[in-house]
Amino acid sequence: MGRGNNNELSEAEERAAHETFQALLERYGEPKTLNPPVNLAARITSQLPNARPAEILRRERRRLLGRSLLLWAIGLTWLVLSALGLWGIMVDSSLPALLVGGPQTALGHVVLAITLAAKPLFALFSSINLLVWVVGLVTVIALGWAWWKMLTQVQPMVLSRNQL
């Protein structure tokens, strides 16, 4: 090795050294280096969007706006329905049915039946003492914290195994 020629390795010597190095790495669990798939660069490039970054950003903003509008619409609908339901349960049970054609119509009949059916359930919830609600809330928070801790503490175990 390095006979004359400024101590440089010949091509054959370099190849042999590389193979020995790879064999040693393989023995210690190092994955083999494989040649990349054919046309990898071309395939990845073809999957990239044609639009300009500004256009992509605009589309993404529009998508996010649409999603937040949908969420707001669902939330507002739920609030309106809840307000209507509360009015039906607590004040006038015929009102929600009247808004859909009156209790004589098929839909109104169903709405009135649902409003009336909600009454015993609502009576059950409203009979629960405020102190019980507060104790319940504190218990939920404490249990939720314990639940999250127990669930996430298992993560380092898995990570450690992978690292080892």
Partner 1 sequence: MNLLLRAKLLFALIATLMLLQVETSYAQGEPVEQVIYVGPEETIESNVSTIDQPIIIDGIVKGDVTSWSADITINGYVEGDVVSYNGVITLKQAAQIDGNVLTVGGSIVYETAVPQVAGQIIEGAPGGSAVFGLVDIIRPSSANNANPGDAILRNAFTLAGALLLLALSTLMSLLWPHRSAITAQTLRTLPMRSLLLGIITTALLALLIVPISGLLTISLVGLPILIPLLLLLHIPYAYGLTALGQVIGQRMLPKQTEFATPAGIALILFPIVILSFFLPIIALLLFYLSASSGLGAALLSRLGTLPIRPQTQNLLKT
Q: Which residues are at the interface with partner 1 (CB under 8 A)? A: 78, 81-82, 84-86, 88-89, 93-94, 96, 103, 109, 111-125, 127-128, 136, 139-140, 143-144, 146-147, 150-151, 154, 156-158, 160-161, 164
Q: C-alpha distances in angstroms, 129 versus 82, 124, 133, 138?
A: 22, 11, 7, 15
> Rounded distance, CA 13 to CA 1, Å?
8
User: Among candidates 108, 88, 106, which has minimal Cα distance to 97?
Assistant: 108
| Cβ contacts of 22 within 8 Å, gap of 6 or more | 32, 33
CB of 28 to partner 1, least distance (A): 18
CB of 22 to partner 1, least distance (A): 29
Burial class of 88 by CB neighbour count within 10 A (0 to 12, 13 to 18, 19+): buried
Of 65 and 99, which has the nearer Cβ to partner 1? 99
CB of 3 to partner 1, least distance (A): 49
Of 57 and 123, which has the nearer Cβ to partner 1? 123
Q: How many CA atoms lie within 13 A of 156 on its CB side?
A: 3
Structural tokens at position 128: 């629960």
CB of 127 to partner 1, least distance (A): 7
Of 52 and 161, which has the nearer Cβ to partner 1? 161
Q: Is the dihedral of CA 52, 56, 59, 65 positive or negative?
A: negative
Of 69 and 146, which has the nearer Cβ to partner 1? 146
CB of 101 to partner 1, least distance (A): 14
Of 51 and 141, which has the nearer Cβ to partner 1? 141
